Each structure stands twice: as structure tokens, then as C-alpha cells.
Amino acid sequence: MEGLYKADPGPGWKQQWMMVENLEVSRDDGMEFARDYRALFMESSVNSNHGVQCAFEELVRKVQRSQLLGTILNSSADTSA
């Protein structure tokens, strides 16, 4: 898989985008990253299209829920003020 990879070479450097080939992340590393950042972990492959649609659909559902929750919280704050 060719793709863009965000790299930070260290303090004082701008983040750079580099092209990489065959970028793979182990399941354990992906799960650890998701756990550290309190994020959802989903396995997918751009090469085989495995899990890609499901990941995007789940992302859209999470954004919609978040927006709905924000609307509900804002409207209840407005009525209690």
C-alpha cells in the first residue's frame, strides 16, 4: 500500500508527510494506540478493501452521535439558564 505517513522528526521541526509503501501496523500496536488515545480500533485494508466501508460508516455514526449529543447538551443548557 502506498500512502501518506505523518512523521515528526523532533522538537522544533514541522510535521512532514512522507510517502511509504506497504505500511502495516500490527493488531497489538493498533489496539495499544487506540487504547492510549481512547479511540476506536478497527482493522482494515486499503489493498483488499477489507473493513474500509465499515470503518467509514462507523466514523459517520460516531460523528452524528457526537453532534446530536452536543445539540442536546446545548439546548438543555439554554433552558436551564
Are the C-beta atoms of 23 and 3 separated by less than 8 Å?
A: yes
At 30-53, the pLDDT tens digits run 899 989 988 888 888 877 888 999
Q: What's the pTM?
A: 0.52
Cα 58 → chain centroid: 11
For residues 69 and 20, what is the distance between their CA atoms, to the nearest angstrom?
A: 38
At 44-81, the pLDDT tens digits run 887 788 899 998 999 899 888 888 878 877 877 766 55
Instruction: Tell me which residue of 28, 30, 27, 6 sits closest to 18, measured CA to CA.
Output: 6
Strand partners for 20: 3
Instruction: Tell me which residue of 71, 69, 67, 40 sits closest to 56, measured CA to CA.
Output: 40
